A and B are shown apart, each in its own frame.
Chain A
């Protein structure tokens, strides 16, 4: 076989025919390309020299994404993951081996790709996405998420929206848009979507697409268990605290001794009630809230995301508009649709959301609303406001000393707190990198907004 001999230095990343496949679609016109597409060899050059991608997550989707993107011609990729490798990852996270267990996922993945795909320059970040600020995120052309956490998705979504720039007339500067491609899987189901922040539906626009987390009612767990899961939850919530089987330490779902102890205790409780089905596997599943995962679904969803990134970066075909769901339980089913932008989205609508309450509403109730409303779904909101020109923290959970100092406010009414109609509430939460402004509407009528 002939191999190109580079003129000056020998470059292992160049060999004859390497990019033949993608050159066909980059160097020839197509009726299905974006109107701006101009077939040329410069596109591949742009992909290799200038285009910078960020992959968030180096797990099931992340490993696949790094392979797909580098073999599709991208070179400059950063990858962030805060996790280390576990034995149970190896059935799908194909860049990791037995000997990599307990090493950082991002580092091992980057090293593997850089070694296997010549010329690839994957830069690992073994940390949380929240450890970086806008200066870091600004450098990328496209960001892709392969995460299992909704909070992290919302955070990066909020970050990319905060990078948008508008002119004085409120027109969006197109060059400030960093597309977000997002993938998610659960068992044999998955979804891939393309978000153009400020232009198309964002993560927060479609929060209602995420199913609420399954929780067991407290009274069922405590008094009327019927399912093996109820017995396991009981031991988790009460038995562990009471008996402290391994001293005063929290449950570690990866410690087999912990799971075994919980499993035995749950079996005992199940026996008392005549309930069947407590097993080690189920116990671990409930304690760790394990989501089943297979190699194939991860491969499909990561590949769908990678194809979209390829299209976005090259314009050689139109990107997905804007959401695809996949399910291969019964045959293979996909459904592609346009998720709609929400005009009152707290993340991307640029309009302060109104919160309408009666004056006698307690602050606690307002906070419950922020957590429970399907379009808000906050986790631990902290609220500040300005009264008579002075900043006041109404409640903040994240810092213990402030939490203690502001806790009495929870049982006070909005009126007693001195909040008036039109008041602006600044709400900070883990679901967003920047605080969100709400406008309080105080009315006598009972209806909440």
Chain B
């Protein structure tokens, strides 16, 4: 086994070799060296991101070296970008590091195209003017922006990306795709070839529960006008009918038949119809799915093929996933079942593949565009596809989202409060050129200044009364911390931000849709579609 495979073994088990390849082909840019920023980079460099670039025109102060593992106090006065790059690169020889000793605002002015070549741009807190300018530059180039900062015991991450498609969302508790409501032809044949009554004791107790369920379901449907057991009472009766089928020994005592127990246990979940989830429906009805062009991404071309399958051959169903959960069974019948499911999945996939090929050739974009492997992954994960679209920063700062207003006004304990306060801090900084509570002498004054900024913000949001929800305690706390970046809070945010970047880069797992707020005072957090 290759050295690299050994080194990355523990993560390859999560995102696979293809996820690792995506990571190794990616380049990220960090704007401004903060503890939160370097911690984020650390967690991208360790798993082997292709390259990173640090942009910062500032020099190391004593305070900077105090909370940052990657700024050497012996180099106080030197450029932050250079020192941080060197100490970070040391973490992984596979990763290439670069630095630019220039202020982001100058670089934005001089060579804006510098930023648009990265896979993801990560930034700490910037002045609002620079932040908006950066965001406006990246948005049309479809480069995701991840704003990430720590402020006292609070942390804030904002992801801005026009569109992000996820094929492998890796859901935790996915229900199995067994199709008992619309059984596969070969499965029905296989079930019909088995007569439970005539099986010997061993075969009877090793008949897969899927077969047992199906057989009892046929009987039930015959007695119930073709309906499956629906109500709680019906399901209870159905379970009892299954358990009555357990073999009994000479004394009339039921044998221990685990397969029958499994069948009874799955009554509640096995007949859930394989409907298309609303989120997927929205994807299939998306204008990008309906109107593919030669500049459409592979995701939308595949989605278009999927849609055609569902509408035609699928009769409203998705392609079969093809996987089977483990169950009590002899090897032979289990493998036979598995082959039936896999063959049907391959058959369905071929149809999707044909639609995709047709689409590609009619668009003139070549058949080789979508690989067999991508197609397989897409069909297998069809049920779990996700498309994420956040609002742009421009929209966010123009008008608050409904989600923000609802969350903030409906729950006085919500951590949405800290989002509101962060926005007021930005206003404070824009006006005063410094953060509230930086100086001891102005602490009290800053609290009342902050209050008036919150008032202004609430007024501009059209909810002036909501100022009541902002307690004096919270204003006090936001000023008390004086923009301190506590290392352990920065490390928390750096962990979260790095994983969000990995999601954006690999297209696996689902990123936060908008903002994430961490409240280290209570160890709680909130995601908010800002």
Contacts and interface: CB of A to CB of B under 8 A. Distances in A.
Nearest to A3: B76
A307 B523 CA distance: 9
B523 A280 contact: no
Contact of A24 (B9, B11, B47, B481): B481
A90 interface: yes
Given A274-B339, A295-B42, 4 more contacts: A3-B62, A295-B46, A299-B491, A331-B512
B20 to A, nearest CB: 10
Interface stretch (A63-71, A168-176, A435-443): A63-71
A237 interface: no
A332 B480 contact: no
Interface in B8-22: 8-14
Interface string A151-189: 000000000000000000000000000000000000110
B60 interface: yes
Most chain A C-beta atoms within 10 Å of own C-beta, residue among B153, B172, B509: B153
Q: Which 4 A-B pairs have the closest CB atoms?
A: A17-B62, A299-B495, A300-B495, A303-B492
Contacts of A29: 480
Interface in B273-318: none
Contact of B335 (A1, A18, A274, A324): A274
A310 B7 CA distance: 33
Interface stretch (B222-230, B241-249, B323-331): B323-331
Contacts of A117: 69
Interface string A55-76: 0000000001001110110000
Interface string A326-344: 0111111110100000000
A25 B484 CA distance: 8
Contacts of B116: none
A257 B516 CA distance: 46
Nearest to A4: B62
A18 B10 CA distance: 36
A249 B226 CA distance: 61
Interface in B508-530: 509-513, 516, 520-525, 527
A278 interface: no
Contact of A91 (B35, B47, B481, B502): B47
A188 B487 contact: no
B333 to A, nearest CB: 9
Given A72-B486, A188-B499, A307-B488, A317 B6 contact: no
B60 A296 contact: no
Contact of B152 (A24, A275, A295): A24
Nearest to A288: B9
Interface string A2-22: 110000000010011111111
Given A275-B331, A329-B509, A20 B63 contact: yes
Contacts of B169: 329-330
27 contacts: A1-B60, A1-B76, A17-B62, A18-B62, A21-B486, A24-B437, A24-B482, A25-B481, A25-B484, A67-B69, A88-B10, A188-B509, A226-B329, A226-B331, A273-B335, A281-B9, A281-B13, A292-B11, A294-B11, A297-B499, A299-B39, A302-B491, A303-B488, A307-B153, A317-B520, A330-B510, A332-B500
Interface string B60-87: 1111011111000110110000000000
A300 B492 contact: yes
A226 B8 contact: no
A303 to B, nearest CB: 4
A85 to B, nearest CB: 12
B509 A30 contact: no
Interface of A: 1-3, 12, 15-25, 28-32, 64, 67-69, 71-72, 87-88, 90-92, 94, 97-98, 116-118, 187-188, 192, 220, 224-227, 256, 273-275, 280-281, 284-285, 290-300, 302-304, 306-308, 310, 317-318, 320, 324, 327-334, 336
Given A18-B66, A25-B480, A187 B486 contact: no
B76 A15 contact: yes
A328 B152 CA distance: 23
B507 interface: no
Contacts of A306: 487-488, 491
A17 B525 contact: no
B14 A188 contact: yes
A17 B334 contact: no
Contact of A227 (B326, B486, B500, B520): B326
A307 B489 contact: yes
A71 B472 CA distance: 31
B191 interface: no
B328 to A, nearest CB: 8
B63 A18 contact: yes
A224 B331 contact: yes
B498 A296 contact: yes
A88 B512 CA distance: 29
A296 B502 CA distance: 10
A295 B498 contact: yes
A30 B154 CA distance: 14
A293 B65 contact: no
Contact of B73 (A15, A31, A284): A15
Contact of B10 (A24, A72, A92): A92
Contacts of A330: 169, 171-172, 509-510
B495 A307 contact: no
B14 A91 contact: no
Given A21-B485, A297-B495, A299-B495, A88 B480 contact: no
Contacts of B65: 15, 18
Nearest to A254: B6
Contacts of B8: 91
A328 B480 contact: no
A21 B10 contact: no
Nearest to B324: A226
Contacts of B511: 331
A320 B42 CA distance: 27
A419 B67 CA distance: 62
Contact of B170 (A116, A224, A329): A329
A317 B499 contact: no
Contact of B484 (A21, A273, A285, A333): A21
Given A18-B63, A24-B481, A331-B511, A299 B523 contact: no
Given A71-B67, A297-B499, A91 B488 contact: no
A71 B332 CA distance: 60
Interface in B432-460: 437, 440, 443
Contacts of B195: none
Contacts of B326: 226-227
Contacts of A329: 169-172, 509-510
B170 A332 contact: no
Given A330-B171, A332-B527, A18 B73 contact: yes
B484 A32 contact: no
B235 interface: no
Contacts of A304: 488, 492, 523
A320 B523 CA distance: 6
A91 B76 contact: no
A226 B481 CA distance: 59
